[in-house]
Copies of this chain bind each other. A is one copy, B any other.
Amino acid sequence: MVIVLKSNIAQNSVKDLIENIRAKDLDVNVSEGHNHTIIGLIGDTSKILPEDLQSIDIVDSVKRISEPYKKANRKMHPEDSIINVAGKMVGEGMFHVIAGPCSVESEEQIIEVARDVQKSGATMLRGGAFKPRTSPYAFQGLHGEGIRLLLEAKKATGLPIVTEIMNASHLDLFDEVDVIQVGARNMQNFELLKELGHCSKPILLKRGLANTIEEWLMSAEYIMAGGNSNVILCERGIRTFETVTRNTLDISAVPVLKEKTHLPIIIDPSHATGKSALVAPLAKTAVAAGADGLMIEVHNNPAAALCDGAQSLNPKQFDELMADIKRRVEFEGKTM
């Protein structure tokens, strides 16, 4: 961390600052310029937030040099992490497609969709049991019953299941779930992240609507700091001024994350755009960008879907997309 001091300040207040820093088990390197003195911090600065140093009245600005995340940092763990999901490996060289409806609606629906997406080549089944909806009056999911139905679909097909948690007190219900999803709106629900750090299940951590990549990695760090290293990142579009798509897919996040972290990264083109017609072209870009997989909404009757129908493919559209995706995954030298 580098601290730039204001110009024309008293020497003894600089001394005080340096003593304060040393009191936190850090060393300093002072460099005097014409107008500005610069203090470099030496040691583990991960406990220090730049905002806190910023408060000191002789400080002009603060610049972090080392990343504030350690366990998620590729520098500390140069090889790609491979996450074991019920025996299936997620990460380097493998490509996964997680497919299924926005919401679990009935046993027939989820089993039919599960069979359809499996036939087309999906490797995991998604389905919402607890649904974060902006309106308290909108359908909120079947809750425990929804998870029960997902498990029926798993029994019928063997597909591992992925479903979202919204409340740590529901954790018991997720006992047989294969991947626990943290949704965009809970990316900085630090209490939930801490709890998930104490279990050993794979966590699919979606990026928040307006969170930077660094904040996202810090949320992964919350889970990992608790002892659970099984984190899969999922980019699902960020909020911008553009309104033609529901969100703006930040495809650059894939190569940026591949440099900064060893964790796998998948793309959710369905939520990123909110439009089924854009799912296929964006899924293709995800493969080309180097993502480790896709999460795609598929519904057996999108027009009647209880939520988010606009962005769901029907099984036939999904099947066509998968045929194309398989060729592309092969082109990239990966396996599905």
Contacts and interface: CB of A to CB of B under 8 A. Distances in A.
Interface stretch (A113-121, A154-162, A172-180, A212-220): A212-220
Nearest 3 A/B pairs, CB to CB: A55-B309, A210-B210, A31-B31
B214 A191 contact: no
Contacts of A34: 42-43
Interface in A44-68: 46-49, 51-52, 54-57, 60-61, 63, 65-66, 68
Contacts of A137: 46-47, 68, 225
Interface of chain A, main secondary structure: mixed
13 contacts: A2-B38, A52-B305, A52-B309, A166-B189, A189-B189, A213-B244, A238-B240, A248-B250, A251-B285, A252-B278, A281-B289, A285-B289, A287-B288
Contact of A281 (B33, B240, B255, B328): B255
Interface stretch (A76-84, A104-112, A145-153, A269-277): A269-277
A303 to B, nearest CB: 5
A292 interface: no
A298 to B, nearest CB: 13
A307 interface: yes
Nearest to A289: B285
A132 interface: yes
A40 to B, nearest CB: 5
B166 A169 contact: no
Contacts of A249: 250-252
Given A65-B60, A303-B56, A310-B51, A241 B244 contact: no
A167 interface: yes
B244 A248 contact: no
A179 to B, nearest CB: 20
In this complex, the member of A36, A241, A285 whose beta carbon has the largest number of chain B beta carbons within 10 angstroms is A285
Contacts of A259: 277
Nearest to A167: B191
A68 to B, nearest CB: 5
Contacts of A167: 168, 191
A198 interface: no
A283 B236 CA distance: 20
A256 interface: yes
Contacts of A12: none
B190 A189 contact: no
B218 A135 contact: yes
A11 interface: no
Nearest to A218: B134
A231 to B, nearest CB: 13
